[in-house]
Amino acid sequence: LSNLTSSASERISELQEKIGESEFDRDLLQIEEKIASGSSGDLYRGTYLDVDVAIKFLRTEHVNDNSKVEFLQEIMILRSVNHENVVRFYGACTKQRKYLIVTEYMAGGNLYDFLHKHNNTLELSLILRIAIGISKGMDYLHQNNIIHRDLKSANLLIGDGQ
């Protein structure tokens, strides 16, 4: 068990070092209302230097070496992607007790809520625009050997202009 813990700790340190330039100054982050909860974390709306952002916190009760490694790997993936149909990564806090990821804020919310708000009745042109956007984003990820692993309507975000 000692070797396993040592190995995970080394991996955490290695990933934190790679993330270094993406590390945010937490004091400049304004945390506002909670907008969603997931199995391993909570999502808040906030601002960073007057820019609207989404802030994903890793839940403290889930913090262990494995969850830290997964969280840090998620940051590494987000840092490496750049596509109009994939949420933009701004930075992270990984050196303090609470781990968090900061991304662009998507004012349209998630697709699940959007569909229910519109009683699952959308114009064909909008359905096609949404489907094409999802397809382009997923194609980009797959072209870069990234597997999403949790594709569902609650995890698909909509920007201002839908």
Choosing from 25, 52, 113, 150, the catalytic residue is 150
My answer on whether 60 and 100 are in the same domain is yes
25 and 40 share a domain? yes
Residue 148 and residue 126: Cα distance in Å, rounded? Answer: 24
Are the CB atoms for 86 and 137 separated by under 8 Å? yes
Number of domains in the chain: 2
- Order the strands of the 51-58 sheet from edge to edge: 29-37, 41-48, 51-58, 100-104, 89-93
Residue 89 has pLDDT above 80, yes or no: yes
Nearest CA among 104, 102, 98, 92 for reference residue 18: 92
- Pair (95, 162) in one structural domain: no
Pair 68, 53 in one domain: yes
pLDDT score, position 4: 45
Tell whether 69 and 6 lie within a shared domain. yes
In this prediction, residue 157 carries a pLDDT of 94
Residue 59: name the closest of 101, 88, 20 by CA. 101
Q: Nearest Cα to 148, choosing from 140, 110, 126? A: 140
Residue 1 pLDDT: 38
Per-residue pLDDT for 46 more than 60?
Answer: yes
Q: In terms of pLDDT, which residue wins out, 39 or 148?
A: 148
Torsion 141-45-95-67 (CA) sign:
negative
pLDDT value of residue 30 = 94
Q: Are residues 118 and 131 in the same domain?
A: yes
Q: Check if 150 is active-site.
A: yes
Alpha-carbon gap, residue 95 to 21, rounded angstroms = 12
Lowest mean pLDDT among 2-6, 8-12, 16-20: 2-6
Q: What is the pLDDT of residue 16?
A: 59
CA–CA separation, 121 and 111 (whole Å):
13
Lowest mean per-residue pLDDT among 4-13, 86-95, 98-107, 128-137? 4-13
The CATH number of residue 20's host domain is 3.30.200.20
What pLDDT is recorded for position 162? Answer: 56
64 shares a domain with 28: yes
Same domain, 23 and 94: yes
Asked if residue 69 has pLDDT above 90, the reply is no
Same domain, 24 and 86: yes
* Structural domain containing residue 35: 1-105
Q: Are residues 73 and 5 in the same domain?
A: yes
C-alpha gyration radius of the chain: 17
DSSP assignment of 146-159 equals ---S---GGG-B--
- Per-residue pLDDT, averaged over 103-111, amounts to 94
pLDDT at 3: 43
Same domain, yes or no: 47 and 97: yes
pLDDT for 14 equals 65
Share above pLDDT 70 across residues of the chain, in percent, rounded to a whole number? 85
Residues 46 and 64 in one domain: yes
Both tokens of 16, joined, read: 């934190």
